[in-house]
A and B are shown apart, each in its own frame.
Chain A
Amino acid sequence: MTRTGSPLVRRVLLGVLGVVVLAAVWELYKALGPATGVVLGDLTVLPRTSDLAMPHVWDMVARLFRPVRSAGDDEMMWQAVLQASFFSLGVAAVGWLVGVVVGMLLAVVMQRFRTAESALLPWIVLSQTVPLIAIAPLVKRWGSQIEIGSFSWENWMSVALIASYLAFFPVSIGALRGLESPDVNHVELMRTYSVGWWATLIRLRLPASVPYLLPALRLAAANAVIGTVVAEVSIGLRGGIGRMIVEYAAAAGGDPAKPWAPIFGAVVVGLLAAGVVALIGLALTRYRRGETPA
């Protein structure tokens, strides 16, 4: 295809431009904004421009290339952040995978049995209104009681489970819409071929659901990353980005650029997750012919 050439370059350039503009706005406000921040009544609308509240962009970047503890001979900050990022990404991936499988299964069951749809769907929607902070301790406590032979529940599994709890929702909703998307025409055609529900699912409903599924997978990836980072904090799992953000925030007083490093890490995790889903979408191009090019 010829259209992968220059538009791809264009998109990358636009992406870079977006980051540059963001940095420029940051520095511009820091240089020109009032030192006490913009306050409306009692409400601080925009932050203070001190180095403490808003470190220079280059300071934040430079901080990545210094050791973790300014004084010691620790590993470089970027190494630590990258390590934590991959740890979180791994946990998020497990959560995403579990969420996708569960979401798909729920969608298939709901498509198959109308009663299941009316019985399950309200609960699925309701499940997402439970705050993450509330379920994290529960999951941890229940998990700690599981011990089967040599298998014992570990904290990272609790985090992955919570990530999957956020990830399954868009998948189940998107997949259900997708599975129900084929025309009556197509469904009746399958009936004239006198094939059963299973063959109809494999040959018609699943392929037809792809355009609905891909945005759902993207949402699920974002949810899994957020779920992982937040659950790491509430469960108290070490080694990931979430915990790092909390730990480094404490150091903000003496080293204001430090807390930003794990935040960059979280962005990297999000980008990687979105990238993987984009690759999945690329592999399924054939099933997206009906889509209008984005």
Chain B
Amino acid sequence: MSTETSAQGQPIASTHPAAVSVAGVSKVFAARKGADVTALEAVDLTIAPGEFVSLIGPSGCGKSTLLRLIADLDSPTSGSIEVFGKTARQARIDQAYGIAFQQAGLLPWRTVRANIELPLELHKVGKADRAARSSELLALVGLLDFADKYPDQLSGGMQQRVAIARSLAESPGLLLMDEPFGALDEMTRERMQTELVRICAETGAAVVFVTHSIPEAVFLSNRVVVMSPRPGRIRDVIAVDLGRAEGRDEGLREADSFFEAVVAVRESLHGEPAGASAVRGVDQR
């Protein structure tokens, strides 16, 4: 055996493996009476380090399932998933990703700071290092003044910022987010999006972002993955080129390039290949 092998015995392909590499993944949920539900079918997706990718699609298209598979909260029925060249399971064990859900999911008996320090504490990081890291993250999400408050004393937006800070605690190269702004009002939501773009630029993490909202996906992403339901498939991958993070401010939301990308994603969602036709087909929904 060569020494140039990874833990799984596979030859190392390159020095910079993709952040996420999904190949031929299907997921079938066994239901009673043999009526299995195919949540995902033959999904291929590669996400580069530092890339921001949104998964968008109607309910039941399997976008959350795909995220859960990458997070190793579920395992695929067939196909393979690699995160930074490791199996999803190994990546979870190695803390290769941070995760944030729709519910902030903060522990109510811990202060904001203690919530952010939770993963560090669980992984036996020393007290001084924990305090330093949590201060850094509190500053990053603009909550230094709220370090000693409890989650129930914060607004929904603030709680979600704490959850994002917590997901960044161990400086993961990959951030998995499942509709993290889904429960927020529109104003808060847009402000959080702007902040997320800034945070991602500062941390350089790749992001897989599940959302229902077209403008949100377009504003945040380098690429938008459009999915279709029953069975969940990738219908389209739309590259969005809205420039570097520093340039993405509120003005961008009214720019033509933004609208063009929104239209492209919407048309794809409604069943037409992006850019194939200028005329919208009959809307069947």
Task: Name B's A-contacting residues (CB within 8 A).
Answer: 71-73, 92-93, 95, 97, 99, 101, 103, 105, 107-109, 118-119, 121-123, 150-152
Contact = CB atoms under 8 A, between A and B. Distances in A.
B152 A183 contact: no
6 contacts: A183-B103, A188-B73, A193-B119, A193-B122, A193-B123, A290-B108
A204 interface: yes
A65 interface: no
A145 interface: no
A115 interface: no
A203 interface: yes
Band of interface residues on A: 20 to 34
Contacts of B109: 207, 210, 286-287, 289
A80 B3 CA distance: 83
Dominant SS at the A interface? helix
Contact of B122 (A188, A199, A210, A286): A199
A185 B107 contact: no
Given A191-B73, A289-B108, 16 more contacts: A188-B73, A189-B99, A191-B92, A192-B72, A192-B92, A192-B97, A193-B118, A193-B119, A193-B122, A194-B92, A199-B122, A210-B109, A286-B109, A289-B109, A289-B150, A289-B152
A149 B72 CA distance: 56
A88 B73 CA distance: 52
A238 B274 CA distance: 90
A185 B103 contact: yes
A69 interface: no
A241 B152 CA distance: 46
Contact of B105 (A186, A194, A210): A186
Interface string A181-208: 0010110111111110001000110010
A133 to B, nearest CB: 43
A234 B234 CA distance: 74
Contacts of B151: 289
A237 B122 CA distance: 50
A203 B122 contact: yes
A200 to B, nearest CB: 9
A185 B118 contact: no
Contacts of B101: 185, 188-189
A188 B67 CA distance: 13
A221 B126 CA distance: 40
Contacts of A203: 118, 121-122
Nearest to A186: B105
Nearest to A207: B109
Contact of A193 (B95, B103, B152): B95
A6 to B, nearest CB: 24
Quick one: which of B92, B105, B150 has the most chain A CB within 10 A? B105
Contacts of A193: 95, 118-119, 122-123
A117 to B, nearest CB: 23
A226 B93 CA distance: 51
A117 B218 CA distance: 49
A147 B223 CA distance: 77
A194 B150 contact: no
Contacts of B123: 193
A199 B123 CA distance: 10
Contacts of A194: 92-93, 95
Contacts of A190: 122
A290 B122 CA distance: 23
A290 to B, nearest CB: 5
Contacts of B122: 190, 193, 195, 199, 203
A156 B71 CA distance: 56
A287 B73 CA distance: 28
Q: 9 tightest A-B contacts by CB? A: A185-B105, A287-B109, A194-B93, A289-B108, A290-B108, A195-B122, A286-B109, A192-B99, A207-B109
B216 to A, nearest CB: 21
A210 B123 CA distance: 24
Contacts of A188: 73, 101
Nearest to B89: A194
B249 to A, nearest CB: 32
A192 B100 CA distance: 10
A190 B123 CA distance: 11
Nearest to A291: B108
